[in-house]
Amino acid sequence: LAKESGKNSFRFYTSELSLETEERLNIDIALHSALEKNEIYVVFQPQYNLETKKIVSVETLVRWENDTLGFVAPDKFIPIAEDNGFIIELGYFIFEESCKAFKQMKASGLELQRIAINVSSIQFKEPNLLEALISIVKRHELEASEIEIEITERFLMENTDKNIKTLQSFRDYGFKISIDDFGTGYSSMSYLKQLPIDTIKIDKSFVDDIGENSSDNAIIEAIVALSKKLNYSIVAEGIETGSQEQFLESIKCDIGQGYLFSRPILVEELIARFR
C-alpha cells in the first residue's frame, strides 16, 4: 500500500510540475507578442493623504489580457518577463504609458504630487536606464521629481554598494525612490538610515494584521516612527478596512493605498471620479 500511494503521489507531483512548466512556457511565448497585439495596458491606484483624505498620488500597475490565457496576474508574468528579458521592453512601455497618463491627469485638473512606477531590479542592469527614463520624462514635459520609482527590498539586498550608487544617481537627477513591500525582505532597521530613498511602503501583510494583536501593531508603529525620524515619507499598502485606516492615521502614517479607497482603475475612470 505504501508503495502504491508513494507511486501515486509521485505521479501527482510530476503532473503538477509539468502543468506548471507548460503554463510558464505558454506565458513565455505569448508575452513576446503581447505588446504588438495591444494586450498590455496600465491601471492606476490612488494614494491618499490619511489626514486630509485627499488623493495625492497614484501607483501604476500593469495588466495583461490574452485571447487564450485570459487575464494573467502580474505576480505571475513579471517574474517570467524578468527571466526571458522581455521586462526591458515592457518596463519602457509601462514608464511611457505612466508619463502619458500622468500628464492627462494633471491636464484634467487633478492635483497630484507624483506618480509611482514599479521598476524591476532587472531593468537596473541596463547601463543606460537613467538616460532613457530622463528622455521619456522630458518628452512628456514632466519633472523627474514627479516620478517615484518603486524598487523591491531585494534589489537593495543584492549587490548593495553598486545598487545604492545606482539609486543615488537617480536621486541626484531628482527622481524619488520608494522601497516597496517593506518588511518582507531582510534589510535591518539600522541599515535604513544610509539608504538613498524617499519613501517606505509598508507591506500589506503588516496592514492585514492590524488590530489582531498588539505586537503586530507595535511593529508597524515602530516602522512609522523610525521612518519619520529619518525623514522618509511612509505609505501603507493594502488597506481594506476602516479600522486599519483609523489605526494608521492615529500613528501618523502619511499615505494610504488599498481597496478601501479604490481598486486600480483606468486613467479615464480616475479622471471622471476625481475631477
CB of 64 to ligand C2E, least distance (A): 10
Which phi and psi (to 5°) does residue 42 adopt?
-120, 150
CB of 166 to Mg ion, least distance (A): 18
Q: Quick one: which segment of 19-27, 77-85, 113-121, 208-216 binds Mg ion (CB under 5 A)?
A: 113-121
The DSSP bridge partners found for residue 4 are: none
Which phi and psi (to 5°) does residue 199 adopt?
-140, 145
Q: Quick one: which segment of 11-19, 60-68, 133-141, 265-273 binds ligand C2E (CB under 6 A)?
A: 60-68
Per-residue b/e over 215-242, b at no fewer than 16 CB within 10 Å? ebbeebbebbebbeeeebbbbbbbbeee
CA dist., res. 118 & res. 62, Å (int): 9
94 near ligand C2E, rule: CB under 6 A = yes
Q: Quick one: which segment of 17-25, 42-50, 236-244, 258-266 binds Mg ion (CB under 5 A)?
A: 236-244
Whether the CB-CB separation of 43 and 265 falls below 8 Å is answered with: yes
60 near Mg ion, rule: CB under 5 A = no
Give the residue with the Cβ less far from ligand C2E, 15 or 39: 39
80 near ligand C2E, rule: CB under 6 A = no
Q: Rule CB under 6 A: which residues touch ligand C2E?
A: 45, 60-62, 73-75, 78, 94, 118, 120, 150, 180-181, 237-240, 257-259, 264
